[in-house]
Every structure is written in structure tokens, then in C-alpha cells.
Amino acid sequence: MTSSAISPHLLDSIPLERWPRHIAIIMDGNGRWAERQGLPRAAGHERGARVVRQITEACSNLGRIEQLTLYCLSSENWKRPADELEFLMQLLELYLVNERPTFLEHNVRVRILGRRDGIPERVLAEMDRTVEFTQQCTGLWLNLAINYGGRAELVDAVRQIGHQVEAGRLKCDEITEQTISDHLYTHGLPDPDMLIRTAGELRISNFLLWQVSYAEIWITDLCWPEFDESTLAEAITAYANRVRRFGGLKK
């Protein structure tokens, strides 16, 4: 990771209780950014990976953000050309290997969200090694959504719950919202307080469908390779200025 620091005066005035504990980001626009620069799409993905390092380090250094969840590869992305998918797998593998020392330096713990089906064995092995390597870290949780789909996550949760009902360990009328939350890929994690999307798209794209029910959504027209610490500070400031009612009235 490169050195990064958000100017203190931008965020120091925000009370602790107004900070988002969990930020989720749909990192969109790598390919579009590259095409606008006259570069191959692969260059956009490489630049996007560098921004992941920068923003992860920035969130860790801020010390007030507990969870950062990044939409790295959706279950729909398998529809892309084979050569682009192979490049993405190589880039992911390289990222997982190269970032381990920095994860340890910044006390970042990695968690993987998503299905393992279709991911090459060599990449799965590096995912598992990185999770193992960082399991003793106690700072920022970096949750990487890889081969992730919100509907698939709900299907997997329902299947697990159904097996418990079949086995007689759970009754249908005992199923609650907490039961479902406990069987999601994100079990044990707080729901996102804020969902950021880049590249100006106005949709959730099958990301954390259950978990973002009450998340504050913040959208920027910047593509992910253009996202930086000042953009992150802008998003956090916007979040802090919103009133979260959760269905109630303003107090």
C-alpha cells in the first residue's frame, strides 16, 4: 500500500457517533475509465487494485471505521470475456499474495464473502492463506466480496435453515430476521451504515440485498480508478450530515 492520509481538518469535527462503522463500496467503472484514457480494460483493473490499497489503508488509519466491504467480483461477472476473467483471477491472486505483509502491518483482517464455485484452485488457495495469515489481526475488517451475489447468498441461507428444520433442530415459527442474518455470508458482522457506488450508476446490482436495508446510499460520478481519499472524506462527511430515522421520526 502507498502512504495515505486524509487531512485531519476534514473529518476531525465529526462526532464519533456520527461516523459510519461499516462502509460498503460497489467499485464500478474500471473498464470505462480505461477506455476514456485510450487504454485496455486491464489497465483499468490494475489501477482499480491500487485504489483498493489506498482506500483500505486510509480506512485503517482513520481508526473509526470497523468494516470495509468491497464488491470485487459479482456472480454475474462470469459473463465477461474469458481473457478478461483470466486477467481478473491473476490480478486477484497477485493482490492476495502481495498485500499480506501490509495487512499485518496495518492490523487488517481479511474475510471472503461469496461462493467458491468456479474460482480457480490456485486463487482459492491464496484466498484461504490470506484469511489464515490475518486471522490474528484486530483492526479493520476488510471483507472482499468475490463471486458474490445477494440473491445467491439468500438462497444459501434459506437452504441451511431448511436443513435445520428437516433435521428437527429448528421449527418454522422460530425463524426470525436474526435467524436469516446468522446464516448469511456476513454473519457476525454489523450491517453497512453506508453504501458507496462509483461511476454514477443508480442501482444496488445484487450487492448485500439483506444487509443494506437501512444503509445510507452515496453515489459519485467518478469511476473507481478516480476514487481517492478526498472522495472518501466527502462521502463520510455527507453520511455524518444525514439524519437516520430507521422508519421513525426525527428527534
Active site residues: 28, 77
Checking 8-13 for CB contacts under 8 A at 24+ apart, the result is: 10/230, 10/233, 10/237, 11/62, 11/233, 11/236, 11/237
Distance of CA 180 to the CA centre of its chain: 20
Beta-bridge partners for 8: none
- What gap in Å lies between CA 118 and CA 76, rounded to an integer? 12
- Residue 154 in 3-state DSSP? helix
Q: How many CA atoms lie within 13 A of 172 on its CB side?
A: 1
- What gap in Å lies between CA 51 and CA 54, rounded to an integer? 5
Quote helix, strand, coil % in the chain, to nearest 5.
Answer: 45, 15, 40
Closest CA to 107 of 143, 79, 136: 136
- Residue 10 in 3-state DSSP? helix
